[in-house]
């Protein structure tokens, strides 16, 4: 009985988080905020479902399966990389340069550095917002 | 109770898949479309795992793992193509 409650609660939490993550993709106003919703909530949702699957295999069928842990680990490793790439594509394409702090070099934001010059990060001058809104 | 929770999770992830499909078709910019495709892959992984739970077969986890890998690689390749105009430089 208690195992059924645990598995059902994990499934319910996972489903709710998955739905919230997908809904945030439509609801939130800006791409930088939209990036926030799926990459966090969807991985939490899938994590809940995979934990429920592991608990189902371990508690009800008596077999331990590690595949779910592998999927969870892979998703947790790759979600920030994908988010970083999407954010870089957005900055390079469509983001206004005005709220961004200076890069400290002659290059623009989110571009490839082919030179050997050392990157010297500059602090944001006072009076300018430090993070893109 | 588990069956009910499974159906609830199926409904949630199916609805999320529909929302992301709508977002892929009517997306305001191209990075948005990549993000929607990435979320779509995550939803499909959850649906595959749920289907594996309902059938009691361990075969579907390999499919989920493959989906996770191809989804990650394709999202990164799409973003890299948008960013640089080329994937392998």
Alpha-carbon separation of residue A90 from B31, B35, B71, B83 (angstroms): 6, 11, 19, 8
CB atoms within 10 A of CB B33: 18
The segments of chain B whose pLDDT lies below 70 read 89
pLDDT digits (tens, 9 = 90+) for A89-107: 888 777 776 777 776 666 6
**C-alpha B87 chain-centroid distance:** 22
ipTM: 0.84
Q: Which residues of A touch B30 (CB under 8 A)?
A: 89, 93
Chain B nearest CA to A123, separation (Å): 26
- Please report, for chain A, the start and end positions of each structural domain, with discontinuous segments joined by +: 2-93
Mean pLDDT of chain A: 78
Question: Per the domain annotation, does B28 fall within a domain?
Answer: yes
Mean pLDDT of chain B: 87
Question: Per the domain annotation, does B88 fall within a domain?
Answer: no
Smallest CA–CA distance from A90 into chain B, residue: B31
Structural domains of chain B, count: 1
Q: What is the CATH number of the domain that holds B36?
A: 1.10.287
Is this structure's pTM higher than 0.90? no
Chain A nearest CA to B87, separation (Å): 13
Q: Do the chains contact at A93 and B30, CB–CB below 8 Å?
A: yes
Domain, as residue range, for B69: 2-83
């Amino acid at each position: 009985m208690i195992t059924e409650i645990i598995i059902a609660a994990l499934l319910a939490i996972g489903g709710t988080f998955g739905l919230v993550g997908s809904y945030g993709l439509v609801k939130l106003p800006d791409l930088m905020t939209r990036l926030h919703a799926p990459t966090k909530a969807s991985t939490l949702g899938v994590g809940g479902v995979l934990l429920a699957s592991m608990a189902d295999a371990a508690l009800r069928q008596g077999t331990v399966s590690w595949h779910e842990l592998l999927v969870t680990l892979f998703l947790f490793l790759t979600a920030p990389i994908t988010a970083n790439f999407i954010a870089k594509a957005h900055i390079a394409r469509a983001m206004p340069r005005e709220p961004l702090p200076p890069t400290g070099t002659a290059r623009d934001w989110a571009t490839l550095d082919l030179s050997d010059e050392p990157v010297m990060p500059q602090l944001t001058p006072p009076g300018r917002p430090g993070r893109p809104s | 109770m588990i069956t009910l929770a499974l159906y609830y999770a199926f409904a949630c992830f199916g609805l999320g898949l529909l929302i992301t499909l709508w977002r892929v078709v009517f997306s305001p910019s191209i990075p948005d479309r990549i993000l929607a495709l990435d979320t779509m892959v995550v939803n499909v992984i959850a649906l595959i795992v749920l289907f594996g739970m309902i059938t009691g077969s361990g075969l579907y986890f390999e499919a989920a793992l493959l989906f996770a890998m191809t989804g990650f690689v394709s999202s990164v390749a799409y973003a890299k193509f948008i960013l640089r105009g080329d994937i392998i430089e």
